[in-house]
Structure 1
């Protein structure tokens, strides 16, 4: 139940009546008409910008439209419609609206706020996609959490979502992995490993070397590289992917699909993608200008096969085949996205690290070209995470050799804390992760503050049960909610009512951090009401000797708990029933 959508429907109906009465011209576009919470709650329960956005196309003064619109909003749910400022319309709703929403939340449980907005459109969310050359590092944590939470959010909003990992196993880095694993294989056979510059030095390859010895004994020792490179590359890549799957599992992330870049080279899909672009006149042979910052003498002109990405908003055309005939790294990526299009996804979302910012325009250009602009691609860049402890830069074991691993972070802070904190900033803003602060019990720690609110909900239910009050779903649904008449109680009920709207807005914007922000806000409102009960006995949730009033208050508290549990579920965080 999205009450904001319902009230917007009343506004649109009233506008249609105004058009029929000749008070507004025909053909107005209502697309930008919104109904949302006012910036200042003192102004009312909702506000609409209808008069403001329609004034110019209607060639009328906003206040004239607002006055006539206010007169037509006569629904029983609307107590008052008041024109403010240049033409905003503030609406005050009947308390019965909030009582109904509490009941809906109790009936629907954790499905409260679930939407059919997505209409089962098929969405592919590709995230993590780390090179299979070692364990995932702290930078991957944020992308993994963001992608997984976004996928859950879109599912909650009615989309059919596929989580996908693109294995970058077709480039030179997997050959480096093979050579690095071979040195650990030599070490397992009692020889001194020669970890030359450019090889991966991490201890995580020691077990791979042992496994290679168990499989091959010493039969590969002193053999030329061409005899073992492919075999060890496949073996090590699979070992790394198994490690990555285990790391993701620690974080509560499970992929639906793993796609291999290497498989594209032998499938003919790269050639098919190039042919598709060529048949559309988007491939030519040419010479690119020197990159910015390059002096002419540093630049070797060479003819290459180029994709006309500038025709789709890119800054320059992009090479897809080198002068020696080898494919560039962009070519398999084009083929991979064509494969997604062939799998009939309606939307594509890619989660990239901040260092891939220069890749956004070319990839969007390719998808536009391949799909005839029918399949939108949204690329979200994930900014860096800085680790601290007590405000000081924090370094951990670095068993990977050069970086802090995902496993290190999760083992230090826990999966639930890690996931929530990673969503307390918008994806394109840097994030500081202080191990001391994320584990402290204070209002400044958002995950603790939200979990504490959920624990308080369960505490109220336990105390009420101990007092002999029936807090079953059927009893709370039958409660007389008119006993909720204090402004602070109604304000909390209004916050519950915002949840379905927030879900749709966050899903539409592809911004799961909005869920974390909202949970902090509703937790703060619950804590505030709880604290007011310390001074005002009438606001306490359990009223001694008054079961009917207690049930009404507990129904409100239970509705808040429904929202918190639902929101934490989207974020992949387990709600805590009690805090110790």
Structure 2
């Protein structure tokens, strides 16, 4: 049940009747007609812009159309009033009973309540994390991992077919650095002093890799020159790092569907094939780029390069895909990788990247637009930095990692549920402060506690009722007489719960899972407020021994709110708590 979609359908039906009656002309398009909550709640429950958007094509005054529409809607089932406002908006008020219809709908659907078909099975690839396989994941990766996984869950809930994908950056020079760093730990395992030179990875996490190399090769690698052992050690160390990364993701509750290796693009003709597709459209050429704006670097000089004409698709400048020495730029395999996604038949691509990739967005969008002939959209979501605090002070670095706080450090201190929810309490492109003390506080100022406590509190109410002999299964509560409800707090809770299907579709359409976290906090606030009213006024308590029918109705509302909270937390990958300790 989507109450906003239902009212919109009534508005469109009413417009159709007006057309049939000759009050409105034939052939009107209703695509721009919306039904939304008004900016000022005092104006009503919903407002439609139908008269405003139809006035010009209908060659009528918007208030005239609004008046005709109001007459059609007034008195319709579930609609208490429809009033013309301002230049032609129509404010609609629903009967209280219409809002309480959310209760049986939620009880019948369970945690599938709010699930949408808006995605229509469109295939979406969400690439996220994609950390270099050179060490454990750090706190910056945590935010991208949580955001990408929650977005994937949201899109799946909204009817898309989602593939979670990790792009392994194992084709660049950083994996050679990894191999040399692991080799030093291998030398250490052989009883020699490791030479952790500047530029190598110093973290203790490579000690087990060195020991594993010793177990496999004995001391034979010590006698071989780097040219002979580099490739073997690189592959061994990369696999070890990816095993560590998979374990870290599992700690956070993230499971990938696909791990795609950058290395698989080299020497296989796949980069050449992607560029050939662009060249066939006249988008690859030999040329010289304009000098960079501002003060020129001392070593800058104009040079002939192979360029992608990305300006044809909205970029600021054309981009090199091959260097003057004939080697690929880092952009070339990225083009090939996205071409592979397009070839796999995805209808939409989403890349979740760190904030330092801002300069990457336009060029990659241009490449995807060109390769797909504008068929496949690419949305790049940048995740801003996370600042860690403990005791009001910046959190210190991890000795194990050598240079940064790891994902494991965070999850082991506060748990996956807290980590995930807090990472979604800000929009992805806004900076986020993560205070280890505050996120564990049991107070209303801690959003994850506040929401989980609402779910646990609802369970406590249901348990107490069951202990008193009341049937609290969803089937029994679905038969409650909801006409007995109507206290202001009850109506507010029902109204907020009824917004859930609309919130799912809005969040999915904008690729913004933080909206779910915000909504759950608001719904929890309404629930906590209603329970508090019962403490102040015994007549408003959920369980009334002297009013069994009213008790069942209130318990049904409590359970409906709990269902919505559980559904929302499920999208975010957070456990709905049945009790708090």
Fold-level similarity (TM above 0.5): yes
CA contact (8 A) 1:320 1:329 kept: yes
1:80 is paired with a residue of what secondary structure?
strand
1:457-476 alignment, distance < 5 Å? 457-476=458-477
Aligned-pair distance for 1:65? 2.2
1-structure distance, mates of 2:542, 2:38: 28
Spell out, residue by residue over 1:395-430, the C-alpha distance to the aligned partner (whole angstroms, 9 max, x if none). Answer: 143421111100001111110000000000000100
Q: Secondary structure at the match of 2:222?
A: coil
Distance in 1, matches of 2:88 and 2:385, equals: 43
Q: Give the corresponding residue for 1:15.
A: 15
- Name which of structure 1's ranges 58-67 and 229-238 shifts more when overlaid on structure 2: 58-67
**Could you tell me which residue of structure 2 aligns to residue 333 of structure 1?**
334
Separation in structure 2 between the aligned mates of residue 58 and residue 303 of structure 1, nearest angstrom: 59
- How do residues 267-278 of structure 1 correspond to structure 2 at under 5 angstroms? 267-278=268-279
C-alpha contact (below 8 Å) 1:208/1:236 kept by paired residues: yes
Report the alpha carbon displacement of residue 20 of structure 1 after superposing the two structures with TM.
4.0
Shift of 1:354: 0.3
The aligned residue for residue 66 of structure 1 is 66
Task: Tell me how far 1:122 sits from its aligned partner.
Answer: 0.6
Deviation at 1:28, TM superposition (A): 3.7
Aligned 8 A contact 2:204 2:399 in 1: no
- Using the alignment, how far apart are the partners of 1:22 and 1:360 within structure 2? 51
Residues 1:389 and 1:55: Cα distance change in structure 2 (over 3 Å): farther
In structure 2, the residue matched to 1:343 is: 344
1:216-268 Cα offsets, whole Å, 9 max, x none, are 11111142110100000000000000000000000000000000000111321
**What does residue 450 of structure 1 align with?**
451
| 8 Å CA contact 2:4, 2:35 repeated in 1 | yes
SS in 1 for 2:39: coil
**Mapped contact 2:107–2:475 kept (Cα < 8 A):** no
| Residue range with higher mean Cα deviation, 446-455 or 294-303 | 294-303
Tell me the TM-score normalized by structure 1: 0.98
What does 1:44-123 align with in structure 2 at a 5 Å threshold? 44-74=44-74, 75-123=76-124
1:359 match: secondary structure:
helix
Task: Note the C-alpha offset of 1:515.
Answer: 0.3
Equivalent residues in 2 for 1:60-459, closer than 5 Å: 60-74=60-74, 75-295=76-296, 298-459=299-460
What is the aligned partner in structure 2 of residue 562 from structure 1?
563
Cα shift at 1:123: 0.5
Query: Is contact 1:290-1:296 (8 Å) kept?
Result: no
Q: CA separation in 2, counterparts of 1:392 and 1:77?
A: 55
Contact 2:397 2:403 in 1 (8 A): no
Q: What is the match of residue 3 of structure 1?
A: 3
For 1:68 and 1:113, how far apart are their aligned partners in 2?
A: 33
Query: Structure 2: 5+ residue runs without aligned partners?
Result: none
TM normalised by structure 2 equals 0.97
Give 3-state SS (helix, strand or coil) of 2:555's partner: helix
CA distance 1:296–1:240, change in 2 (3 Å) = closer
427-436 or 19-28, larger mean C-alpha shift = 19-28
- The Cα shift of 1:43 comes to 2.5
1:88 shift after superposition: 2.1
Contact 1:2 1:497 in 2 (8 A): yes
Q: How does 1:416-565 map to 2 (within 5 A)?
A: 416-565=417-566
Number of residue pairs matched? 580
Root-mean-square deviation (CA), in Å? Answer: 1.4
- Give the gaps of 5 or more residues in structure 1: none
Q: Structure 2 vs 1, CA of residues 297 and 135 (structure 1 numbering), >3 Å: closer, same or farther? A: closer
The reply to whether residue 40 of structure 1 matches residue 40 of structure 2 is: yes
